[in-house]
A and B are shown apart, each in its own frame.
Chain A
Amino acid sequence: MYSIQMKGIVKRFADLVASDHVDFSLKAGEIHALLGENGAGKTTLMRILYGLYHADQGEILVNEKTAQIRSPKDAIQLGIGMVTQHFTLVPTLTVAENMVLGETGSITINLPDVEKKVAEASERFGIPVKPQALIKHLSVGERQRVEILKALYHDARVLILDEPTAVLVPQEVSVLFEALLRLQKQGLSVIFISHHLNEVMEICDRITVLRDGKLAGTVKKADTNLKQLANMMVGRENFGVTRQGPRERGAAELRVEKINAIDKKGLPALKDVSLEVHQGEILGLAGVSGNGQTELSAVLCGTHRVTSGKVQVGDKDLTNAEPAEVWKAGVGRIPEDRHANLVGELTVAENLVLDQIDGFLKNGMLDKKKIEQNANTLIKEFQIKASASDHLRTLSGGNMQKVMLARTLSLKPRVVIASQPTRGLDVGATDYVRTKLLEQRDSGAAVLLLSEDLEEIMALSDRIAVIYSGRIVGTLSAQEATAEKLGLMMAGLEA
């Protein structure tokens, strides 16, 4: 008996095929993992099931009957509940009030009655929550339980959890797993989206792996192992890159010693991270997104603080230095989010001097002529398709990134921090950015490349370090790295 069957699902976003003829089926009463790298199409598929997106092709069956799911409302009526990564609770309302927020059956709400029902549901499903508690007073784990209870309260028989463990600390993860196993016994079916292999192996009955929007296969837990799953996830034996022998490298230029940092939610994001990047090498940092790369990059760019540890460039201590000190010490920064770190409403020329205005003054005034000349020189040198007076927001992603590269590299940095430098760029711009990074390495700079794109890491790096859950799992030379080894390390296992 199948609860859900999705057949030949196709979903396109402009040119991107996010879901390419994917088949997926969920048996009644099973916990089924949807596994894959970022951008593999897991969330897209589930959003289609929950009525948030509409499939371009394909068919959905619920309880073996064809179903039309046009909106989440339809999905809820069919007994499907979804808990997204970003919770949809109103912080200033109580648990009980949140439960009935979307109900439009009557004008009045009998709150004591609702609270009683919520308390009953809480008991029946074994999910302890206080109906009168205000959401804003609850921890992230408790809020997640409220979300789950909300779905169950609306009679969900199928529960979709989108990366439920991403926001939780380990203790909360085990509480969640206990609750899920208990609900399974009561007949609930669960779809568990994750990119963490161990979790999947711990709790799921069957596993469907997606890769680049396509189905890579569905396996039973009993018939598989971590190594096979890692291979299915990453999918390539080699990357079509032929590596030369080890290259000469110079002294260590960037040294990171045992740094710890917390993320915006206050959870530990970096745990005793130590790295060394030498002159004339590219150190690639591989990892699934959300494992501390954002924080590490921000720390090195001077926009995020560490709670302990040390950052050093040459013999200069840059621990918790301000951004201006960081680039003056010779650190070129290509940040993860170019949109947030350039000013769209200023011109290309203004953006190109924003971090070094002191060098473009005449009698205390902005030297407009020099600013424009600087822009024209860099536009030519870096092949930016724009004019100096264009507003930055009118540029394509590739040209925006070239502006960032031009501003950064024109300062002749000793160390380059490149974070997701080709994300969202077309092939041409991607090639250009990669060539520039190799040029930097060849001219003796120490380059740290943080990327979620394994191919990119494999193609550019001399050494590869892997980060998982805020820790460096290990470091390999490019020659010893294989997709399989990296895949396992990215899942948190020693290779």
Chain B
Amino acid sequence: MPKLKIERAPAPVWMRTLIPIIAIPVTFLITSIFILLDGANPFTAFYHLLISPLAGKYSAIEVLVKSTPLMLTGVAVAFAFNSGYWNIGAEGQLYAGAIAAAWLGMILKDVSPILGIPLVILGGFAAGMLWALPSAILKVKLKVDEVVTTLLMNSIVLYVTSFLLNGPWRDPVSMWPQSPEISQGTEYFKLIPRTRLHFGFIIALLVIMVTWFVIKRTSFGLQMRAIGLSKEAAHFAGIKVNKTMLLVALISGGIAGLAGAGEVAGIHFHLIDAISDGLGYTGIIIATLGGLHPFGVGLAALFLGLIDTGAQTVSRAMGVPVYLGDVVQSTLLLVTLSLFVLQNFRIRRVK
């Protein structure tokens, strides 16, 4: 009688690139169960989730707006993961960037945009780096697991934000827990009038291009990839493992900081507690879906931006809870990760 046997056999390379694409229908199949449980039609729901947002001009632009911070946090995470530095702290680094942007917006009162915007960009980047620094040093000097420290740094910055908003930075006019509105000169300009699409989108595209160039075309990129793939071999080849990893961790933090600066300077115009709502964590999903490749990350960010926008459309049109978007995103990650593991095996019939 023939039996089935599971054995290790790595899938060909072309299959790996297909995985995120295979993952999408599988995800929809699984999430349909939840939609059915809610008494709605899955086909209509997915139509509203994926197609409706692209039908209208305003909602299509809104997809780009939602994708902007996701591209940045996704690239930040992917950059670090490329060298084997597991930065789970993009969320916190994003908050640090947002705090810096809000602060610059407060103190630079009558600044011209030509000076104000670059300062916000630099400030956001520097703040993200600064927030990534303690974990990076602990990792390099004392071999403390960066997964733990970057994650804990996220909680700290949330409390710092709360402190600022309920204390020194509380809006003197409304008394809401939000910082005073930033000055005009530090606001990102709009790319399309009367929409929310701002200069941060261009920054995100540039960052994608630059990180791609650094990773794939420079000696630094080759060295950081070598470290990510085999620390021992990299060290043996004379690559300065600690120095490179420290730098990668800081750049990753800086990129996440840009995401936070963009949310303040381009969307909200003041710091609020809920400035992120998990954008940094979604960045981890995006980095994984994008195969840690900056271009892949860009596409994954657009896709998740679409789901984010679509979730609201579904909710409005069909009364399905807006959390459907979260369910789809999380399921997609789990399915993708499962496929990455499963591709190493095959099932064979044996006699």
Listed in ascending order, the chain A residues whose CB lies under 8 Å from chain B are 301-303, 322-327, 333, 335, 340-346, 350, 354-355, 357-358, 360-361, 364-366
Contact = CB atoms under 8 A, between A and B. Distances in A.
B218 A354 contact: no
Given A361-B219, A366-B217, A366-B219, A343 B226 contact: yes
B237 interface: yes
B232 A341 contact: yes
Given A327-B238, A346-B225, A354 B233 contact: yes
A365 B216 CA distance: 10
Contacts of B222: 346, 350, 354, 357, 366
Nearest to B230: A343
B238 A355 contact: yes
Contact of A366 (B218, B236, B240): B218
Interface string B123-144: 0000000000000000000000
Most chain-B CB neighbours within 10 Å: which of A324, A327, A342, A354?
A354
B237 A354 contact: yes
Nearest to A323: B238
B235 interface: yes
B226 A323 contact: no
Contacts of A342: 230, 233
Nearest to B221: A366
A343 B223 CA distance: 11
How many chain B residues sit at the interface, stated as a range, is 10 to 19
30 contacts: A303-B235, A303-B236, A323-B238, A324-B240, A325-B238, A326-B238, A327-B238, A340-B232, A340-B233, A341-B233, A341-B237, A343-B226, A343-B230, A345-B229, A346-B222, A346-B225, A346-B229, A354-B226, A354-B233, A354-B237, A354-B239, A355-B236, A355-B237, A355-B238, A357-B219, A361-B219, A364-B219, A365-B217, A365-B218, A366-B218
A354 B230 CA distance: 12
Nearest to B226: A343
Contact of B236 (A323, A358, A364): A323
Contacts of B232: 303, 340-341
Contacts of B239: 324, 354-355
B157 interface: no
B234 interface: yes
Given A323-B238, A355-B237, A340 B218 contact: no
A285 B218 CA distance: 41
Nearest to A301: B236
A345 B231 CA distance: 12
Contacts of A345: 229
A23 to B, nearest CB: 34
Contact of B234 (A322, A325, A344, A354): A354
A222 B12 CA distance: 61
A360 B222 CA distance: 12
Interface of B is mostly: helix
Contacts of A335: 236
B234 A343 contact: yes
Interface of B: 217-219, 221-223, 225-226, 229-230, 232-240
A259 B234 CA distance: 25
A343 B233 contact: yes
Contacts of A350: 222, 226
Nearest to B236: A341
Contacts of B223: 357
Most chain-A CB neighbours within 10 Å: which of B217, B218, B238, B239?
B238
A358 B219 contact: yes
A58 B238 CA distance: 51
Contacts of B218: 364-366
A333 B236 contact: yes
Contacts of B237: 323, 341, 354-355
The 3 lowest CB-CB distance pairs between A and B, nearest first, are A324-B238, A355-B237, A323-B238
Contacts of A326: 238
A320 to B, nearest CB: 14
Contacts of B219: 357-358, 360-361, 364, 366
A346 B230 CA distance: 10
A344 B230 contact: yes
B238 A344 contact: no
B293 to A, nearest CB: 14
Given A324-B238, A366-B219, 17 more contacts: A322-B240, A327-B238, A335-B236, A340-B232, A342-B230, A343-B233, A344-B229, A345-B229, A346-B229, A354-B222, A354-B226, A354-B234, A354-B239, A355-B239, A357-B219, A360-B219, A366-B222
A364 B222 CA distance: 12
Contact of B235 (A323, A327, A361): A323
Contacts of A325: 238
Contacts of A360: 219
B233 to A, nearest CB: 5
A168 to B, nearest CB: 27
Contacts of B233: 340-343, 354
Contacts of B230: 340, 342-344
Contacts of A366: 217-219, 221-222
Contacts of A346: 222, 225-226, 229
A333 B219 CA distance: 22
A302 B239 CA distance: 12
Contacts of A341: 232-233, 236-237
Nearest to A335: B236
Contacts of A340: 230, 232-233, 236
